[in-house]
């Protein structure tokens, strides 16, 4: 078997944990990139024991902190010659939380879900380029469907400053914006990295049941809603298997800059001004993503903002 080395961020719970188990079970080297080592160590041990794979490694990283990401990447570079698969799975989404900034003064959702993954990818780019089949996967969300409404756009104004009126802060809007920005990055990186043979993919996740640990992270009244949602969602293993297929399958080897749905069909940009029936079908289905994801001005802004925010952190110091 062609054994790969894979980094999975947020691999201690939910989909990330199920993915770590899947890759480990198939004999690959897995680096679980997690922010809380104490909590993650028993998960690592359990995966290593159950799969009999001695190459399940745990490394600390806080995806909201540039310094932490740089430390993680430096450590990785010291220990490994190449990286085959990078899965940006970790994400910040905290029901009911107030506006909060990362240690670098960036709105926490954008820092964790967009700027952090961008920096990690840039720092690991050379090691990815050393693989003969490098693949980066971004965990997307169907929350971006809100952008099917042509009036919606990413709010760049509050990335580094709190809205004056706290009522203008919304966890959902920040999360939705972050997942759209991440998709734009995925498309852009496909072009930027084509010369290096690094491929990028994104998966639109419709929902996965929240684990007991994940449920405990949210406030009690949100927990009730999450428990109800759990009745309708698929287990994390379903999405973890999709991660595996996207990152390993030969049929995706020559693709890049694609956004998959839960059937692993390549999604297409939605038609705009196509009439109300088409709008309803597009909104209800899983075949298209909002045309806004192809908006050149917004995509360029996401790329530039990520570059500017991470600039002074984007060199590997060993
Ligand atoms: N579950 C769904 O219904 C759903 C739907 C659409 C998209 N998604 C996407 O799927 C991915 C996985 O979600 P999940 O449902 O498996 O969630 P989860 O069980 O809550 O797992 C999230 C993981 O991210 C980690 N994480 C959060 N902030 C971090 C940080 N600053 N640094 C490092 N790790 C951090 C968490 O670590 P801690 O344990 O330390 O908090 C945890 O391991 C996410 O990208 C999410 O946006 C999920």
Model pLDDT for residues 179-192, shown as the tens digit of each residue: 999 999 999 999 99
Query: Is any ligand 1 atom within 6 A of the Cβ of residue 47?
Result: no
State the burial class of residue 74 (Cβ atoms within 10 Å of its Cβ: 0-12, 13-18, 19+). Answer: middle
Query: Is any ligand 1 atom within 6 A of the Cβ of residue 63?
Result: yes
Closest Cα to atom 5 of ligand 1 = 207
How wide is the angle at C-alpha 264 spanned by C-alphas 226 and 21, nearest 5°?
Answer: 60
Predicted local confidence at residue 318, as pLDDT = 47
Report the C-alpha gap between 91 and 101 in whole angstroms. 15
Q: Residue ranges of the chain with pLDDT lower than 70?
A: 1, 314-318
Report the C-alpha gap between 56 and 167 in whole angstroms. 44
Helices and strands: H and E segment counts in the chain: 11, 9
Q: From ligand 1's centre to the CA of 315, what distance in Å?
A: 26
Closest Cα to atom 34 of ligand 1 = 10
Q: From ligand 1's centre to the CA of 90, what distance in Å?
A: 4
Query: Is any ligand 1 atom within 6 A of the Cβ of residue 208?
Result: yes
Predicted local confidence at residue 1, as pLDDT = 66
| Inter-residue contact 101 to 158 (CB < 8 Å) | no
Q: What sign has the CA pseudo-torsion 186, 190, 193, 199?
A: positive
Q: What are 42-63's pLDDT values in tens digits?
A: 999 999 999 999 999 999 999 9
Nearest ligand 1 atom to the CA of 63 is 32
Of 292, 281, 299, 271, nearest to 150 by C-alpha is 292
Of 178, 30, 27, nearest to 102 by C-alpha is 178
Nearest ligand 1 atom to the CA of 35 is 33
Nearest ligand 1 atom to the CA of 139 is 45
Looking up tokens 């991470």 gives: 310
| Inter-residue contact 61 to 34 (CB < 8 Å) | yes
Domain 5-313 - what CATH class? alpha beta
How wide is the angle at C-alpha 204 spanned by C-alphas 310 and 263, nearest 5°?
Answer: 145
Closest Cα to atom 9 of ligand 1 = 139
Q: From ligand 1's centre to the CA of 250, what distance in Å?
A: 27
Predicted local confidence at residue 317, as pLDDT = 55
Q: From ligand 1's centre to the CA of 60, what distance in Å?
A: 15
Ligand 1 pocket mutation pick from 7, 9, 18, 90 by most atoms within 8 angstroms of CB: 90
Predicted local confidence at residue 95, as pLDDT = 79
């Amino acid at each position: 078997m062609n054994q790969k080395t894979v980094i999975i961020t947020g691999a201690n719970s939910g989909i990330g944990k199920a993915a770590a188990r899947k890759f480990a079970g198939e004999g690959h080297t897995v680096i679980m990139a997690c922010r809380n080592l104490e909590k993650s160590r028993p998960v690592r041990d359990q995966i290593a024991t159950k799969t009999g794979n001695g190459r399940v490694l745990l490394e600390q990283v806080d995806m909201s902190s540039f310094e932490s990401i740089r430390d993680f990447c430096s450590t990785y570079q010291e220990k490994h010659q190449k990286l085959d698969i990078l899965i940006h799975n970790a994400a910040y989404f905290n029901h009911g939380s107030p506006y909060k900034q990362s240690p670098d003064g960036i709105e926490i959702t954008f820092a964790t879900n967009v700027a952090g993954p961008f920096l990690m990818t840039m720092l690991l780019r050379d090691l990815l380029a050393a693989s003969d089949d490098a693949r980066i996967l971004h965990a997307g969300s169907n929350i971006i469907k809100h952008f099917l409404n042509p009036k919606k756009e990413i709010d760049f104004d509050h990335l580094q400053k709190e809205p004056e009126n706290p009522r203008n802060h919304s966890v959902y809007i920040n999360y939705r914006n972050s997942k759209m920005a991440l998709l734009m990055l995925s498309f852009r990186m496909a072009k930027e990295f084509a010369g290096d043979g690094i491929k990028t993919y994104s998966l639109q996740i419709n929902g996965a049941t929240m684990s007991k640990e994940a449920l405990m992270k949210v406030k009690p009244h949100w927990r009730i809603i999450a428990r109800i949602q759990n009745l309708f969602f698929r287990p994390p293993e379903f999405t973890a298997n999709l991660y595996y297929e996207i990152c390993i399958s030969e049929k995706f080897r020559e693709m890049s800059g694609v956004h998959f749905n839960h059937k692993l069909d390549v999604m297409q940009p939605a038609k705009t001004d196509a009439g109300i029936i088409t709008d309803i079908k597009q909104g209800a289905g899983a075949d298209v993503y909002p045309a806004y994801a192809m908006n050149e001005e917004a995509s360029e802004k996401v790329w530039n903002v990520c570059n500017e925010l991470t600039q002074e952190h984007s060199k590997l110091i060993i």
